[in-house]
Amino acid sequence: MLSINPKDIAIEKLHSYLLSAVAPRPIALASTIDSNESPNLSPFSFFNVFSANPPILIFSPARRVRNNTTKHTLENIKKTKEVVINVVNFDIVQQMSLSSTEYPESINEFEKAGFAMVASEKVKPFRVGESPIQFECKVKDIIELGTEGGAGNLIICEVVKLHIKEAFLNDEGNINQQKLDLVARAGGSLYSRAKEGFFEIPKPLTTLGIGVDSIPIKIRNSKVLTGNDLGMLGNIESIPSKIAVDKFAKEHPQIIGYNSVKKHTFAKAFLEKNDVASAWKVLLMK
């Protein structure tokens, strides 16, 4: 394994490792205005939600590695203490990328990227009309993490108004993740499209799962089952009873007599369908 002391490598290389390893990252398309109320728009992938009460979003415009300068977004926020964070979905990803171009301060990135400027209700910066969800925010704090190139500046924002396009809601009024089709940032020029990579993991039981340590050692030492498989098996309230296993065996007589590899392979197929109970019964069959 390659082991690195961050202080022993160039910031550019460390920056590359961090962005490739901590990925994918959600994108904040941040809209600000300067002291003359001229608009600015720029995307940032050092971004996430950190609280619901109060509703807090944090993003970080880092100092440029190559020349230690700061971005217009940071300078504007220091003066106005307001920002609109627009989420980025696949429909606007190319326009978002264009808005990241380092145009001179006088240039309006909304116009360059072809975005509609929509007036906000609680803050002065404009919203991106094409963004499916927009957060109007007041800036509570700015935490400077350093003074050299690559240093971040945590912008702690409280959401004072949010706007969600109804086309992205389901019948229950919740956000439909498939329709939303968010994109995220990775290392280099790579992005990921969320809806192409969704998979579901049932949440841990409200009661206690038995845990991997309670799984019989012969199953834990399986050459077929992975750590993920064992995690699913451990997230069950109790191991199936002998009566349940015997009933399952009568319904699947072809499994009787399987060696451990074939039995574990058969159980793995059930786990891939999220049928943990059947997987356990296979594994417990004699």
Kindly report, residue by residue over 96-118, the tens digit of the pLDDT.
Answer: 998 988 888 888 999 989 999 99
Average pLDDT over residues 16-28: 93
Kindly report, residue by residue over 187-218, the tens digit of the pLDDT.
Answer: 989 999 988 887 777 666 566 788 899 999 99
Query: For the chain, what percent of residues have pLDDT higher than 90?
Result: 72
Average pLDDT over residues 267-283: 93
SS (H, E, C) 66-92: CCCCCCHHHHHHHHHCEEEEEECEHHH
pLDDT bucket at 256, cuts 50 / 70 / 90: confident
What pLDDT, on the 0 to 100 scale, is given for residue 236?
87
Top pLDDT among 148 and 26 is at 26
Kindly report, residue by residue over 234-253, the tens digit of the pLDDT.
Answer: 988 899 999 999 999 899 88
pLDDT bucket at 160, cuts 50 / 70 / 90: very high
Domain ranges, ordered by start, for the chain: 6-196, 212-284
Checking if the pLDDT of 286 tops 60, the result is yes
**Burial per residue of 163-202, b for 16 or more beta-carbon CB atoms within 10 angstroms, e otherwise:** beeeebeeeeeeeeeeebbbbbbbbeeebeebeeeeeeee
Kindly write down the DSSP assignment for every residue of 43-65, as one continuous string.
Answer: EESSEEEEEETTEEEEE--PPPT
Q: Is 2.30.110.10 the CATH number for 6-196?
A: yes
pLDDT bucket at 186, cuts 50 / 70 / 90: very high
